[in-house]
Structure 1
Amino acid sequence: MSRALIIVDVQNDFCEGGSLPVKGGADVAAAISEYVDTHHNQFDHVVATQDWHIQPGDHFAEQPDFVDTWPPHCVAGTRGAELHPDLDTEYIDAYFQKGQYTAAYSGFEGVLAPEDAVPTGERKPGGAPLVEDAEAFAADEDAIGLDDWLQSHDVEDVVVVGLATDYCVMATALDAVQAGYSVTVMRELTAGIAPDLDDAYAEMELGGVDLA
């Protein structure tokens, strides 16, 4: 049995200064880096997810309701879609990009990105792939999903951290339970949109997620 850490959407647009910031997002990026540096030997694999929007339809809106529609964010090939520079990527084995042409909250909707198509905070400006490249990658029928990748690496136990607690973290954790994994969400390594996250925590626990 293998154990994996899933780092959800720790991207520039979801941190302070981005187009859809989560309060405390940058602090979460730094805290995850510190945690992984100290505890990476407790995991067989570390993976990260990214919102990676090309034409996500009505997921974007000029007058968003901040429930089902949102301001443009994490557009493929832009700095906003890059991983936050305070997130240390040294131990990340694979990246899964989601939401190319529709809303996508769960990391289990993502597909494996080629190693040369993952923009991170450590890349120099101009290093991000062109949107045309992203479109070709997203259209690849042979793209590997997160569940396929975890199964191929014999993962049975996952720990989920990242942004935002009440949206993509929760969706990823609940999908992981549905896929048959043992799932833990580390509350101190997440940050949420709602001021009170009790409902999100309750929904995760009801869905079979352990909270730490």
Structure 2
Amino acid sequence: MTTRLLIIVDVQNDFCEGGALGVDGGGAVAERIAEFVREHGGDYDRILVSQDWHRGDTDNGGHFAVPPAAPDFVDTWPVHCVADTEGAALHPAIAAVEDRGEVVHKGHGVPSYSVLEGIVIGTGESVQALVPGCEIDVVGLAYDFCVRATALGSREAGASVRVLREMTAAVHPSGVAELEEELAAAGVEVVRTADRRDPAAGSREG
């Protein structure tokens, strides 16, 4: 039987409004995901909830811009999601449903976008090893960075992958059309939740 995964990507305080790298609409995305988990979490065999978990004593392999250099918001970023800080904590809406999933940490000392680079806390499993052959729905922040990398990486690893569109938001909204062309070319479906087939109803189209 095919394993069905929901991957909730980096819905942390620093990536929501008011955070060090707040994405417009991040808080609303968190609320939508939490509601979705309450209503549909039982459709999945596992729910993975990822957190950027950077070190505070290094630039994490060039991921943090070091003054006087300014972040370019493509490859270098302001300090964010330092392990065990409030900024790295899950948004309260996600924290409220955290017990429905398993936490994944990534990026401790290195740049890390894809959740496949993370480790499941408690079991020590590599996410990379979990995804081949799975049916995966990806949600979270940000659409054009960590959601993108997770979706493309999962597809490359042999999973069937969808992004649930209204449960994500982009750093650069002007680039979303191009992003979605890239996802489609890789075989990643982008769907609205209203159009989402119930995983329990059978295999997916495409």
- Indicate whether the TM-score tops 0.5: yes
Q: Tell me how far apart the structure 1 counterparts of residues 165 and 80 of structure 2 sit (CA, whole Å).
A: 24
* Deviating 4+ runs (over 6 angstroms): none
Note the alpha carbon deviations across 1:122-171, whole angstroms, 9 max, x for none.
xxxxxxxxxxxxxxxxxxxxx421132456xxx61000000000000000
Which is worse superposed, 90-99 or 8-17?
90-99
Question: Is 1:58 the equivalent of 2:39?
Answer: no
**How many pairs are equivalent?**
182
Q: Tell me how far apart the structure 2 counterparts of residues 90 and 58 of structure 1 sit (CA, whole Å).
A: 30
Q: CA deviation at 1:177?
A: 0.3
Q: Tell me how far apart the structure 2 counterparts of residues 67 and 200 of structure 1 sit (CA, whole Å).
A: 14
1:161 to 132, 139, 155: 139
Residue in 2 that maps onto 1:191: 169
Question: Is 1:83 the equivalent of 2:90?
Answer: yes
Residue in 2 that maps onto 1:92: 100
Alignment of 1:1-212 (within 5 A): 1-54=2-55, 55=58, 56-61=60-65, 62=67, 63-87=70-94, 88-114=96-122, 143-150=124-131, 156-196=134-174, 197-212=176-191
- For structure 2, which runs of at least 5 residues remain unmatched after alignment? 192-206
Query: For the Cα contact (< 8 Å) 2:141–2:147, is it kept in 1?
Result: yes
Give the letter aligned to residue 58 of structure 1.
G
Q: Tell me how far apart the structure 1 counterparts of residues 165 and 128 of structure 2 sit (CA, whole Å).
A: 23
Q: CA deviation at 1:103?
A: 0.7
Q: Tell me how far apart the structure 2 counterparts of residues 90 and 100 of structure 1 sit (CA, whole Å).
A: 21
The 1:147–1:92 alpha-carbon spacing in structure 2 relative to 1, beyond 3 Å, is farther
SS of equivalent residue, structure 1 residue 57: coil
Q: Tell me how far apart the structure 1 counterparts of residues 116 and 25 of structure 2 sit (CA, whole Å).
A: 24
SS of equivalent residue, structure 1 residue 174: helix
TM-score (norm 2): 0.84
Query: For the Cα contact (< 8 Å) 1:12–1:84, is it kept in 2?
Result: yes
Give the letter aligned to residue 105 of structure 2.
Q
Note the alpha carbon deviations across 1:37-81, whole angstroms, 9 max, x for none.
111122121111111101313110131011110000000111111
TM-score (norm 1): 0.81
What is the Cα-based RMSD across aligned positions, in Å?
Answer: 1.5
Query: For the Cα contact (< 8 Å) 1:157–1:181, is it kept in 2?
Result: yes
Q: Tell me how far apart the structure 1 counterparts of residues 42 and 121 of structure 2 sit (CA, whole Å).
A: 24
SS of equivalent residue, structure 1 residue 20: coil
Give the letter aligned to residue 195 of structure 1.
P
Q: Tell me how far apart the structure 2 counterparts of residues 188 and 82 of structure 1 sit (CA, whole Å).
A: 22
SS of equivalent residue, structure 2 residue 28: helix
Query: For the Cα contact (< 8 Å) 2:41–2:100, is it kept in 1?
Result: no
Task: Give identity over the alignment, percent.
Answer: 46
Note the alpha carbon deviations across 1:5-63, whole angstroms, 9 max, x for none.
00000000000111000000010000001111111122121111111101313110131
